[in-house]
Amino acid sequence: MNTRSIKTMLMAASFLAAACGEDTHADPTAPPAIALDSESGIYSVKAGRTLRLAPVVTRAVNPSYRWTTTADGTELGRTAVYEFTAADAGQYYLTFTVAADNGTAAKDLRIDVAAGGCTAPESAYYRPKTAASAAACNRVYEFLPAPGQFVNEGYAAATADEAAAYAESRLAAGAYVSLGGFGGYVTVGFDHSIDNATGGDGYDFAVRGNAFEGSSEPGIVWVMQDADGDGLPNDTWYELKGSEAGNAATRRQYAVTYYRPAGNRQHVAWTDSDGNAGTVDVNNYHTQPSYYPQWVAAGSYTLHGTALAPRNEPVTVNPEYWLNRAYDWGYADNFGADLDLHLAATGVGGYTGFKIENAVNPDGSPAALLYIDFVKVQTGVNAKSGWMGELSTEVMGVMDLK
């Protein structure tokens, strides 16, 4: 991630669900680990809609997969990805098991299926705007960054709730929240539902970042509808497709596991679902004891999502300067065609516009959402730019443009 101080200097000169263990470093003999995109293991979906369950498995040698009903072990499938559809409302319990040469792991899931069709149309829990509605997001539900040079800097969060409160106060003040390296995310909500009302070239909502030409740290944007009406982001996330959606180098199910350093001022080690390893490096610009989120009690945690192919490269040697090239459109904190610098109220950066009509199912087909209630922004690249550090998405606000 480019640091705030580095970005400021460059601009003045015109010129980024946790699967936990207790290990403090990568252990090649460890058993498989499973990460769900719902940290609680609970999903919500409408009757008749298909929910694609795609757990991310790491550290598995020659794995095989099995889906069963939790109660009686009835086999449902033997694939890594399972598409669940229920015709009737109710609670359904499934178990996903991975068997590998280096061990076995399993995860239980609960799927809450709400009535569909005429009994509960998609607009059942729609929250209309009122004269008192605010354009800006009014709550941060979760803030879980990947390790990064801004993590733990200037704030002391001992719990996940304290971390979310910190992020909420920052966004309310128009200040940046850094999501750290790949997979780090923030989830926000609004005091009303946001309509899918583009019908052309207009945008429904926008995410403010601090990108400028030569410095893009793209964030993947996800949207969710409150399908069960409980006011919480525990339903189905839909990715908003961007310009790289059809790129063969874009990874839809990519995971990185981060390991707590053994001591202060040490690099944070990581391994990924492709078998690669690396570090998030400490530097002299950000001198907090650790870049590993201090409210994460476990010795490791896994973040997963869509990963874009890096576009950063060194362009000068002495002094060393890295260029973080932009992607065409569809990503937060990115100097793309959908960035409007004039929408910035104060300071650096501008708002990137997003269309709800670009929400897609896991197979890439349109989700056809009438409205949304929650937005998640997640760092979408695993890369670092020399002394400038890891690429990480910064978020400075999310707003309804209608």
The DSSP-derived string for 198-245 is: -SSS--SEEEE---BTTB---EEEEEE--TTSSSSS-S-EEEEP-TTT
Confidence of residue 11 (pLDDT cuts 50, 70, 90): very low
Report the pLDDT value the prediction gives residue 318, as an integer from 0 to 100.
76
Is residue 310's pLDDT more than 50? Answer: yes
pTM attached to this predicted model: 0.82
CA–CA separation, 397 and 136 (whole Å)? 7
Determine the pLDDT at residue 227.
83
Q: Quote the distance between the C-alpha of residue 259 and its chain's center.
A: 19
The whole-number pLDDT of residue 102 equals 87
CB 173 within 8 A of CB 303: no
Question: How many other C-beta atoms can be found within 10 angstroms of the C-beta atom of residue 329?
Answer: 18
User: Mean per-residue pLDDT for 99-128?
Assistant: 81
State residue 286's pLDDT score: 97
Distance in angstroms (rounded) separating the CA atoms of residues 178 and 1: 9
The identity of residue 46, as a single letter, is: K
Q: What is the mean pLDDT of residues 301-329?
A: 91
Positive or negative torsion for Cα 11, 16, 22, 26: negative
390: number of Cβ within 10 Å:
30
Kindly report the CATH number that applies to the domain delimited by 33-115.
2.60.40.10
Q: What is the pLDDT of residue 24?
A: 40
Q: Which residues pair with 85 in a beta bridge?
A: 50
Q: Using a pLDDT cut of 90, give the percent of the chain over it.
A: 61
Max CA separation in the chain (angstroms) = 67
**pLDDT single digits (tens) 154-212:** 999 999 999 999 999 999 999 999 999 999 999 999 999 999 986 556 899 999 999 98
Q: Which two tokens stand for residue 118?
A: 């005429």
Q: Where in the chain are the domains? A: 4-16+124-400, 33-115
Band the pLDDT of 43: cuts 50, 70, 90.
Answer: confident
pLDDT at 124: 78
CA 174 → CA 51, 180, 207, 218, 395, distances in Å? 36, 18, 12, 19, 9
d(CA 333, CA 9): 18
Average model confidence (pLDDT) across the chain: 86
Q: What is the pLDDT of residue 265?
A: 97
Q: Decide if pLDDT at 86 tops 80.
A: yes
pLDDT for the residue numbered 349: 64
Query: What percent of the chain stands above pLDDT 70?
Result: 88
pLDDT at 70 over 60: yes
- Residue 74 structure tokens: 């009835």
Res 280: pLDDT? 98
Question: What's residue 81's pLDDT?
Answer: 80
Look at 59-68, 168-177, 209-218, 387-396 and tell me which has the smallest mean pLDDT.
59-68
**pLDDT tens profile 232-263:** 998 888 999 999 999 999 998 888 989 999 99
Task: Please give the pLDDT value at position 235.
Answer: 83
Residue 354, beta-bridge partner list: 205
- 112: its two tokens: 């809450």
What is the per-residue pLDDT for 279? 97
Q: Which residue type, as a one-letter code, is found at position 358?
A: N
pLDDT over 90 (residue 83): no
**pLDDT of residue 342 exceeding 50:** yes
The reported pLDDT for the residue numbered 21 is 38
Confidence (pLDDT) at 301? 86
